[in-house]
C-alpha cells in the first residue's frame, strides 16, 4: 500500500513541449505512483529524468489497450496508478477514456491532475471565437471519408478544432476549404516551444501555403464558425445537389446538401429524384 497516495487512478496532464509546464502537483503524483501507464516509455522516461524520478512504467496505447486494461484496473484496488500520454492531457485523442470507464465501474477512486492541452492552447492563440467550440480530433486520411466527416460538422455554429500531422496538412486544409467554404482559420504548431507559431488567414490561403511547404510534427487547426449568410438560393441548392449526385447515392447526396445548407432533406431528396430522371 502506498503511504503517500491512496489506491486508484490518477490522470496526469504532461507538457506539450516546454517541460517547465509540468505542475508541482503532477510532479508529486508521478514521483509517488506505484506504476505509470504510458503511451511511449521512451517519451515518459525523458520526462521522469527531467524531474529526477524513476518509477515502474507499463505501456498503454491504441494497440494494446484492450489487453492491458483489466490488469491495470485490478491493480487500482491496492496501488496508485498514474495515466499519462506522450504530451498533453490523457483521453484527448487516445484510448484513456475506456480505462477511466472501467475504473469507475470497478468502484476505484479517480483523480484528475489538469494541465496542458494542445487543443485549448491553440484556441488561445487563434484569435477566433472561443465561447463555443467543437473538438473533432483527426480527420480520416482517405478523401471520401474525410469529405463526409467535414460535411457532418459544416453546419455547426461553433469554432472547430482539429489535429493533423505535418505531411497531410495541405490536403486537409484544402478539403476543409472545399467542405466549409473559405472561412478564417489558424494553424498552430510548436506550441510552448521556442519556435511556437500560429499562422492565421482564410482556409484557401493556408492550404496553398502548406501545400508548398508542409511543416513537421503534429498540428492544431482552428476554423471559425460559419458566418450569418443569407439563405441559399434555389440555384445554389440545385448546383450543390447536382455536384453531390456525381459522387453519392441520391439519399446521401440529399442528406449532405441539407446538412451543409440548412435545407429540408425530404424536399432535396424529391428534387434529386427529379434531376436524376
Give the C-alpha distances (Å, rounded to integers) separating 234 from 59, 224, 265, 267: 56, 26, 14, 12
How high is the pLDDT of residue 228? Answer: 57
Of 3.40.190.10, 3.50.50.100, 2.60.40.680, 3.30.950.10, the CATH number of 119-223 is: 3.30.950.10
Write down the CATH superfamily of domain 8-116. Tetrapyrrole methylase, N-terminal domain (3.40.1010.10)
CB of 234 closer than 8 Å to CB of 173: no
Question: How many Å apart are CA 163 and CA 153, to the nearest integer?
Answer: 15
Classify burial at 196, counting beta carbons within 10 Å of its beta carbon; exposed 0-12, middle 13-18, buried 19 or more.
middle
Position 233 confidence tier, pLDDT thresholds 50, 70, 90:
confident
How high is the pLDDT of residue 95? Answer: 74
Position 94 confidence tier, pLDDT thresholds 50, 70, 90:
confident
% of the chain beyond a pLDDT of 70: 97
Q: Is the dihedral of CA 67, 70, 71, 76 positive or negative?
A: positive
Which residue in the block uniquely carries the three cell numbers 513537421? Answer: 216
Over residues 55-78, the mean pLDDT reads 95
Classify burial at 139, counting beta carbons within 10 Å of its beta carbon; exposed 0-12, middle 13-18, buried 19 or more.
buried
CB of 28 closer than 8 Å to CB of 55: no
Specify the higher pLDDT residue, 147 or 218: 147
Question: How many Å apart are CA 70 and CA 147, to the nearest integer?
Answer: 37
Position 160 confidence tier, pLDDT thresholds 50, 70, 90:
very high
Cα 58–60–65 angle (5° rounding)? Answer: 130
How high is the pLDDT of residue 276? Answer: 82
Residue 55 scores a pLDDT above 60: yes
Question: How many Å apart are CA 139 and CA 74, to the nearest integer?
Answer: 34
Over residues 249-258, the mean pLDDT reads 90
Position 231 confidence tier, pLDDT thresholds 50, 70, 90:
low
Tens digit of pLDDT for each residue in 161-217?
999 999 999 999 999 999 999 999 999 999 999 999 999 999 999 999 999 999 988
Helices (H) and strands (E) in the chain, counts: 11, 10
Over residues 33-60, the mean pLDDT reads 96
Over residues 255-266, the mean pLDDT reads 86
Position 230 confidence tier, pLDDT thresholds 50, 70, 90:
low
Spacing of C-alpha 52 from chain mean position: 31
Residue 27 scores a pLDDT above 90: yes
Cα 171–150–132 angle (5° rounding)? Answer: 115
Residue 229 scores a pLDDT above 60: no
Amino acid at each position: 500500500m502506498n503511504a503517500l497516495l491512496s489506491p486508484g487512478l490518477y490522470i496526469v496532464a504532461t507538457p506539450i513541449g516546454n517541460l517547465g509546464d509540468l505542475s508541482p502537483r503532477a510532479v508529486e503524483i508521478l514521483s509517488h505512483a506505484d506504476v505509470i501507464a504510458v503511451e511511449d516509455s521512451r517519451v515518459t522516461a525523458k520526462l521522469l529524468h527531467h524531474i529526477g524520478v524513476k518509477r515502474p512504467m507499463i505501456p498503454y496505447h491504441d494497440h494494446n489497450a484492450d489487453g492491458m486494461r483489466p490488469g491495470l484496473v485490478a491493480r487500482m484496488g491496492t496501488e496508485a496508478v498514474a495515466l499519462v500520454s506522450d504530451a498533453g492531457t490523457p483521453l484527448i485523442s487516445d484510448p484513456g477514456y475506456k480505462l477511466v470507464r472501467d475504473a469507475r465501474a470497478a468502484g476505484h477512486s479517480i483523480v484528475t491532475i489538469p494541465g496542458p492541452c494542445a487543443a485549448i492552447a491553440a484556441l488561445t492563440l487563434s484569435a477566433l471565437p472561443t465561447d463555443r467550440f467543437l473538438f473533432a480530433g483527426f480527420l480520416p486520411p482517405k478523401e471520401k471519408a474525410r469529405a463526409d466527416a467535414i460535411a457532418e460538422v459544416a453546419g455547426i455554429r461553433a469554432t472547430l478544432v482539429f489535429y493533423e500531422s505535418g505531411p497531410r496538412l495541405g490536403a486537409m486544409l484544402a478539403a476543409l476549404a472545399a467542405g466549409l467554404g473559405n472561412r478564417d482559420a489558424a494553424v498552430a504548431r510548436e506550441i510552448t516551444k521556442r519556435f511556437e507559431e500560429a499562422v492565421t488567414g482564410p482556409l484557401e490561403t493556408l492550404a496553398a501555403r502548406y501545400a508548398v511547404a508542409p511543416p513537421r510534427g503534429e498540428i492544431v487547426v482552428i476554423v471559425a464558425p460559419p458566418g450569418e449568410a443569407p439563405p441559399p438560393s434555389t440555384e445554389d441548392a440545385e448546383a450543390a445537389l447536382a455536384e453531390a449526385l456525381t459522387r453519392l447515392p441520391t439519399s446521401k447526396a440529399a442528406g449532405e446538401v441539407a446538412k451543409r445548407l440548412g435545407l429540408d432533406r425530404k424536399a432535396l431528396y424529391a428534387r434529386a429524384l427529379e434531376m436524376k430522371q
